[in-house]
Amino acid sequence: MPRILGVDIPKEKRMEVALTYLYGIGRPSSLKILRAAQVDPNKRAKDLSDQEVAAITSAIQKSDLVVEGELRRDIQKNIKRLIDIKCYRGMRHVKGLPVRGQRTHTNARTRKGKRKTVGGLSKKPPAPK
């Protein structure tokens, strides 16, 4: 199982798909990287030589793509900045609600979490006369 930038790439997948296991790399950017490294996109990861792995790693580092830990840090830093300036989007992040204007009267269950049941609303049976 080859390691690229500290991530294990699945050996049975084609390189075009295997590179997408790196955070921040999708199909189009994986094709650009493989073209730059002169590696066949249909080649399986287990068939890569050490030179090809090194070429792919250097192609990723030379490209202007931000991947893995650096990208995760950037995203967290952006969210923290929104929270620090106390803008609407930052407050939605803090409250755990949808940020991009979706409705919350119904739906938004994933973002809001499990339903909280409100007690004291059950119907009491009528008193006997």
At 45, is the secondary structure helix, strand, or coil? helix
Q: Is the pLDDT of residue 112 over 90?
A: no
Both 83 and 52 in a single domain?
no
Range of the domain at 56: 3-62
Q: Which residue has the higher pLDDT, 2 or 54?
A: 54
- Examine residue 125 and state whether it is found in any structural domain, yes or no: no
In this prediction, residue 28 carries a pLDDT of 96
**Crossing angle of helices 88-95/68-84, nearest 10°?**
110
Strand partners, 7: 4
Residues 73-90 have a mean pLDDT of 97
Q: Is the dihedral of CA 45, 40, 60, 54 positive or negative?
A: positive
- Number of structural domains the chain divides into: 2
Q: What is the predicted pLDDT for the residue at 121?
A: 63
pLDDT digits (tens, 9 = 90+) for 20-54: 999 999 999 999 999 999 999 999 999 999 999 99
Q: What angle do CA 72, 83, 76 make, to 5 degrees?
A: 5
